[in-house]
Amino acid sequence: MNEIPRPNDLSAFWMPFTDNRYFKANPRLLARAEGMHYRTPEGREVLDGTAGLWCCNAGHGRREITEAIQRQAAILDFAPTFQLGHPLVFEAAARVAALTPPGLDRVFFVNSGSEAADTALKIALAYHRARGEGQRVRLIGRERGYHGVGFGGMSVGGIPANRRQFGAHLPHVDHLPHTHLPELNAFSRGQPAHGAHLADALEGLVALHGADTIAAVMVEPVAGSTGVLVPPLGYLERLRAICDRHGILLIFDEVITGFGRLGTAFGAERLGVVPDMITMAKGITNAAVPMGAVAVKRGIHDAIVAAAPAGIEFFHGYTYSGHPLAAAAAIATLELHRAEDLPGRARAIEPLWEEAAHSLRGLPNVTDIRTFGLIAGIELAPRPGRPGERGQQVFRRCFDSGVLVRVTGDIVALSPPLIVEEPHIQRLFGTLSAAIRAEAD
């Protein structure tokens, strides 16, 4: 029998994407949160420069969301959405559909970004099969793409470390080159000027595999997890045109760019390119209850439904697809977004954010700064032979000085709640600047 753990025993929880050995020797815990700040168990305040994990866009502890969850838990804890339903899930879907680009008005609920990615890929495959093109089984992702950790998202994703450990991936997957061109685009504000031609690699994959074998291309409009890669001007337009030319579906993974991060409801709107599907999660409930979704063009939905014989049309779903607490949280969150015009707030403060981020130019080891919407990526030169070490030390220094940043390797990625104000921005970049200076060696 296992021993009953001591209070404060950290051993049983196998932490995700964590250096468990380091963390458990040097724990950093967050116990409370409100507005722009976390609090540690000792009561120390930590300014949230990352909206949790790109997800608490409306700020923490929003009363309207908390109360909606509490109310719903007391009314209906759970109801299946397989062959049944409950009122809030339909309202939540309609509210999401009101925010997505015109035409993407069918919404499939899931519980996470990973599930959204796998669901979108399955919809693409089912769509082609429904239209008699079942040979379109190839899925195209992009280097440095992140689409979560399910087998679909992992395979289409382009992060070597996330794939190498597992060996077996989906077959029939290929990748476009990433769009990071620091030699041409360093210190870009907004969309970088160079790199639209990188979309033409899709024509290369079409030539290699045959368009009639390719079901879909999935990309993040702005790649977040691999260090803030903003799409070059014209790149997404070109990808869209090539997909259209060859009957390939284009999926935008908007798990981080959705819900105001780029100053619009979805990144598609800001970037002026409409995909065939959008995957989303995180900000949909302000992260108060796990939820994700796929918004699908009506024609894709209709093709799958029409082609099915009577009965279930799409053999996919999760027990918690559209869970009542998540639906309640989503409705309250989207109402807050509307009432407080959070995308508008993000747009209004973006110039100040951009200026503050680019003020770090010239600090030791800062090789690039990228900004778009309320996102910033600050790339640091790695220490020779010890990649990632400088980034980790900067993260720890910032945290110990009361500011939460995120690092991926030696890139600092920032994405504050959209309620951020000027003093928070000054504090965030002031602390980061001091940490970068302190790690100059």
Q: Is 261 in the site for ligand PLP (CB under 6 A)?
A: no
Query: Which structure tokens are listed for 156?
Result: 């289409």
**Which residues have a Cβ under 8 Å from the Cβ of 152 and sit 6 or more positions away?**
117, 118, 121, 122, 139, 170
* Largest distance between two CA atoms of the chain: 68
Choice from 144, 147, 175, 261 touching ligand PLP (CB under 6 A): 147
Residues 326-385 that bind ligand PLP (CB under 6 A): none
Number of residues that bind ligand PLP (CB under 6 A): 14
**Which residues have a Cβ under 8 Å from the Cβ of 80 and sit 6 or more positions away?**
319
Q: Decide if 288 contacts 93 (C-beta within 8 A).
A: no
Q: Which of 281/346 has CB closer to ligand PLP?
A: 281
* Secondary structure of residue 364 in the 3-state scheme: coil
Distance from C-alpha of 258 to C-alpha of 279, rounded to nearest angstrom: 9
In the bound state, the residue with its beta carbon closest to ligand PLP is 113
Q: Is 271 in the site for ligand PLP (CB under 6 A)?
A: no
Choice from 48, 220, 379, 410 touching ligand PLP (CB under 6 A): 220
Q: Which of 59/148 has CB closer to ligand PLP?
A: 148
Start-to-end Cα distance in the chain: 50
Question: To the nearest whole angstrom, how small is the minimum distance from the Cβ of residue 254 to ligand PLP?
Answer: 7
Q: Is 95 in the site for ligand PLP (CB under 6 A)?
A: no
* Best CA proximity match to 438, nearest among 404, 407, 398, 408: 398
Q: Is 255 in the site for ligand PLP (CB under 6 A)?
A: yes
Q: Which of 113/391 has CB closer to ligand PLP?
A: 113
Instruction: Single out the segment in contact with ligand PLP by CB under 6 A; choices: 6-14, 252-260, 269-277, 350-358.
Output: 252-260
Name the DSSP letter for residue 284. Answer: G
Q: Which of 278/436 has CB closer to ligand PLP?
A: 278
Residues 17-56 that bind ligand PLP (CB under 6 A): none
Instruction: Single out the segment in contact with ligand PLP by CB under 6 A; choices: 22-30, 143-151, 183-191, 198-206.
Output: 143-151
Name the DSSP letter for residue 228. Answer: -
Q: Is 253 in the site for ligand PLP (CB under 6 A)?
A: yes
Question: 3-state SS string over 238-274?
Answer: HHHHHHHHHCCEEEEECCCCCCCCCCCCCHHHHHCCC
Residues lying near ligand PLP in the complex (CB under 6 A) are found at: 112-114, 117, 146-148, 220, 224-225, 253, 255-256, 281
